[in-house]
Structure 1
């Protein structure tokens, strides 16, 4: 299977998963709005955790289906590591955003929590790009994520 066929397959996979990702993003947004605007951190944490679970399930399905289109074992490992690392880093970033509001951190220290979360988000992009290049080295016909977005 050539790269163009793989891109079309991956785009089809992503179209099927997109509604779940949108619902996940909505739950996370509602959770953070409740967290930032009210004094009800418990309900917002439930929504954020639910959003992360939905995101994890959709990422897992996407990962498995993308792994099926390559026959190279090393490429499959790098693809799996990319998805796991992304899920872990996004979970950490969301946790770092939520902690100051749940733990009642002073306003002067909130900046550092937000800065740490921003650094984690930037790290996610760097890690994903690094894994993409490793996948490309293991299987030259496997498209990078920027080619099918």
Structure 2
């Protein structure tokens, strides 16, 4: 037997109405951040599969790959600052560069209800910067999910 829920009429303020309308339209605003070469490739596949490029952010040290990215928002990481093989800079400088990148990424993801960070492990850019970007993008009301390719 199906028991219907009782209907309750409540006088709502304008603020409560907008909140109530938000519940009636449950579409989440999701941002997708692709970090490094593998992350940018995954991001391109997501956009090709129907994800809106307006809520996507490509982050990379490779300007060529960034220029080919379908993402509307792009963050370039200075190659010299991320060069782990030659160690041109100290680890502290690496962290400073990644924190700056994370700050630039959050300017694009701030209006989202949910953020997905996609990356690959093995290279330098995604392995080093994706955890920092994910940590800085997360808030008490905006969770972050990381998808990592190995």
TM-score for the superposition, normalised by structure 2: 0.35
Query: TM-score, normalising length from structure 1?
Result: 0.35
Structure label with greater radius of gyration? 2
